[in-house]
């Protein structure tokens, strides 16, 4: 946001400088001096178009810049409070995610081969009491990821850490 304001002020100043230079040169030209002194009548007609055109160009560039920044922000995956579903205890989660499989090709621990990542998540979140299940879709270029996981909520209602145990990747649907 600060970058946007700085860019806006900078472009506004630039526009001001351009208008000022034209105004000054016009005054000089009336006295038979300066850059525009040899300007023909049709060249004078062009000037307002240039000034007006320029004042349309910079807001457009600014708009494009803001749009690009927002797209970049959207590309970063974040878990928000609005994504959280139901609250569960560590014991409930671990019981729910012990993977049963007939060939014994998975460790008998919560989240199977992702158990270490789960334990790291709990350690990073300081064994939290406020754990919530979440599901969130997140677009990245032409792909959409449907993430499922658990998030830790701090006492001041902020998502501090999250753990993803399932991430389904699909091509984004093209709007008709």
Partner 1 sequence: MTAQIPETIEFENKKQMLLTCPLEDYFTLGKVDSPFNANCSALWRGYIGHWKIINGRLYLISVEPQFDEENTTVLGDIFPGFDNCVFAHWYSGELRIASGKEVEFAHAGFGSVYAREVFLSVEEGVLVSTRVAHHK
Residues binding partner 1: number (CB under 8 A): 21
Binding of residue 98 to partner 1 (CB under 8 A): no
Q: Which stretch binds partner 1 (CB under 8 A): 10-18, 57-65, 69-77, 101-109?
A: 101-109
Q: Please state, in angstroms and rounded to a whole number, the distance separating the CA atoms of residues 45 and 25.
A: 15
CA distances from 76 to 79, 138, 154, 158, 165 (A): 10, 9, 21, 17, 18
Q: Name the minimum Å distance from CB 153 to partner 1.
A: 21
CB of 68 to partner 1, least distance (A): 24
Query: Does position 27 bind partner 1 by CB under 8 A?
Result: no
* Rounded distance between C-alpha atoms, residue 55 and residue 72, angstroms: 26
The reply on whether position 93 binds partner 1 by CB under 8 A is no
Quick note: the x/- pattern for partner 1 over 44-83, rule CB under 8 A, is ----------------------------------------
Rounded distance between C-alpha atoms, residue 126 and residue 93, angstroms: 16
Residue 91 and residue 47: Cα distance in Å, rounded? 74
Q: Which residues lie near partner 1 (CB under 8 A)?
A: 99, 101-103, 105-107, 112-114, 116-117, 120, 146, 164-170
């Amino acid at each position: 946001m600060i970058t946007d304001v700085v860019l806006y002020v900078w472009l506004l100043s630039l526009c001001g400088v351009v208008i000022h230079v034209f105004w000054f040169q016009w005054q000089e030209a009336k006295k038979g001096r300066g850059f525009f002194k040899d300007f023909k009548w049709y060249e004078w007609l062009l000037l307002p178009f240039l000034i007006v055109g320029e004042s349309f160009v910079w807001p457009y560039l600014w708009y494009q810049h803001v749009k690009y920044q927002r797209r970049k922000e959207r590309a970063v995956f974040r878990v928000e409070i609005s994504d959280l579903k139901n609250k569960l205890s560590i014991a409930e989660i671990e019981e729910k995610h012990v993977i049963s499989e007939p060939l014994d090709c998975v460790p008998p621990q919560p989240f199977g081969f992702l158990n270490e990542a789960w334990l790291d998540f709990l350690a990073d979140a300081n064994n939290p009491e406020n754990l919530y299940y979440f599901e969130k879709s997140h677009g990245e270029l032409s792909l959409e990821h449907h993430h499922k996981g658990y998030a830790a909520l701090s006492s001041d209602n902020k998502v501090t850490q999250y753990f993803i145990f399932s991430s389904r990747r699909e091509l984004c649907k093209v709007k008709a």
